[in-house]
Amino acid sequence: MADQTPSGESLLFLTDEQLRKGIEAMFFAYRGFTADPDRILEGMDYGRAHHRALHFIHRSPGTTVSNLLSVLGVTKQSLNRVLRTLIEDGLVEARVGRRDKRERHLHLTAKGQELERELSDAQRARMRAAYRAAGPQAVAGFRQVLEAMMDPELRRQYQGLKENGA
Amino acid sequence: MADQTPSGESLLFLTDEQLRKGIEAMFFAYRGFTADPDRILEGMDYGRAHHRALHFIHRSPGTTVSNLLSVLGVTKQSLNRVLRTLIEDGLVEARVGRRDKRERHLHLTAKGQELERELSDAQRARMRAAYRAAGPQAVAGFRQVLEAMMDPELRRQYQGLKENGA
DNA sequence: TTGGAAAGTCAACAAGGCTGACGTAACTTC
DNA sequence: GAAGTTACGTCAGCCTTGTTGACTTTCCAA
C-alpha cells in the first residue's frame, strides 16, 4: 500500500489500467448515448447533426447562428447545410434580429418542438434509467468527472447554458 | 419536498433539467475526450478509426478480425480499410491462425506499439487530470453511470475486456 | 463432400466534417 | 460618408468513415 497521498487517499484509481477502463467506458457509453436518437432519425432525412442543432436551439431559443457555431464546434458551411434543411422543412425558424439585422435568431417551430421532444425523450429515458440505477451520489461524480474532462473553453459553454430545475 | 423515494432519497437528480445537463455534459466531455488523439493524428494519414483499432488490438493482442468487428461495431468493409493501411504501414501484423487458418490474429508491431502509446498517453493524461480533479468517489460514480448507460451487449463487451491493475 | 463460417475485396454511395473563395447586407469606426 | 468589419449564406471540392451489395477464396466440421 504505497500509493497514498499525504492526506491518505488511495491513488489506485489513477493507474494506467483504471484510466484505460475509463477510456473504454466513455467509448461504449457514448455509443449507447446516441443509439436511441440515431434509431429514430434513420429513415428520416436527418442525422446526428440535425439532432444536435435541434437540441441546442431548444435549449437556447433565439440563439444566433454564430452562437450555435461556437457551441457545436463546426464550420458554418457544415452547420448551414443542416440548418437549411431544418428551415426548409419547417422545423426551425430564423428571425432577422431586431437590434442587429445581420443576425438570425433561431427558434423551433411547433413541428420542430415535436421532433426535438421525441428525440430528447428517448435520450432522457436512457439517461434516467442510468441515473436511477447508479444513484444520486454516482450521478454527482459522473458530472464532476465529465466536467473536468472538457476543454476549458467548452466547459464555459457548458456552464453558461441556463441552469435550473432545482 | 415531494420528490422522495420510499427510502427517503431525493429524486431531484432525475428532473428533465438535470437529465439535459447530463446529456450536454456527455456531448462536451466527449469532444475533450477525443481532442488530444485527434490533434496527434491530424497530419498523419490516420484518423479516429485507426486510433480505435490500435487501442483494442493493444488491449487484446491476438484478437481476430471478427472479434474486433463486434467490439468496434462497424462493418468489416469499414474496418478492413483501416486495418489494411495499418498493416501496409507496418503498425499491425495479421498472423494466420494456427488452429483455424481462416482467422487473422492481430498484433501491434513495435512501430504500432509506439503510436498507440503516444495516442493513449495523451488520452490518459487528460483522463488522469480529470480523475485527480474529481477524486476517487466521483470516479466510481462516473464509471457506474457510464456502465448503466451502455447497451447490455456492449456492457458485456466492456466487462469482458481483461480487468486488472488493482 | 458439401454447407457454411471467416476473411478479404470491389464498387458505389451517403453523412458530415473540412478548406477556400466569394457575395451581400448591416453595423462600426474613422 | 468612406472604409473596414461582422454575420450570414453559398458554391465547389475534398476527406474520413460509415453504409449496402455482390462475389471469391479458404477451410472447418458435420
Quote the ipTM score: 0.91
Domain assignment of residue B152, yes or no = no
Percent of chain B whose pLDDT exceeds 70: 92
Q: Is the separation of the CB atoms in A163 and A147 below 8 Å? A: no
Maximal CA-CA distance, chain B: 65
> What average pLDDT score do residues A76-96 get?
97
Contact list in A for residue B147 (CB cut-off 8 A) is 25, 29
Domain assignment of residue A91, yes or no = yes
What is the DSSP code (8-state) at residue B150? S
Domain assignment of residue B147, yes or no = no
Domain assignment of residue A114, yes or no = yes
- Measured N-to-C along each axis, helices A16-41 and A48-59 cross at an angle, to the nearest 10 degrees, of 90
- Evaluate the CA torsion angle B104, B105, B106, B110 in order and state its sign: negative
Domain assignment of residue A118, yes or no = yes
Of residues B166 and A103, the one with the higher pLDDT is A103
Sequence-distant (6+) residues with CB within 8 A of B116 are B54, B55, B57, B58, B108
> What average pLDDT score do residues B28-43 get?
94
What is the DSSP code (8-state) at residue B12? G
Domain assignment of residue B130, yes or no = no
- Say if residue B5's pLDDT is above 90: no
* Confidence class for position B108, pLDDT limits 50, 70, 90: very high
Protein CA B129 to sugar C1' C23 (Å): 46
Out of B17, B25, B165, closest to residue A146 by CB? B25
CATH number reported for the structural domain that contains residue B104 in this entry: 1.10.10.10
Model confidence pLDDT, tens digit, residues B68-77 = 999 999 999 9
Protein CA A93 to sugar C1' D10 (Å): 19
Of residues B42 and A147, the one with the higher pLDDT is A147
Domain assignment of residue B129, yes or no = no
* Confidence class for position A7, pLDDT limits 50, 70, 90: low
What is the DSSP code (8-state) at residue A44? B
> What average pLDDT score do residues A139-151 get?
97
Contact list in A for residue B8 (CB cut-off 8 A) is none
Query: Chain C: nucleotides under 7 Å from a protein CB?
Result: 5-12, 15-21, 25-28
Domain assignment of residue A158, yes or no = no
Question: Domain of B117?
Answer: 17-122
* Confidence class for position B37, pLDDT limits 50, 70, 90: very high
- Say if residue A161's pLDDT is above 90: no
Count of the separate structural domains present in chain A: 1
- Say if residue B163's pLDDT is above 90: no
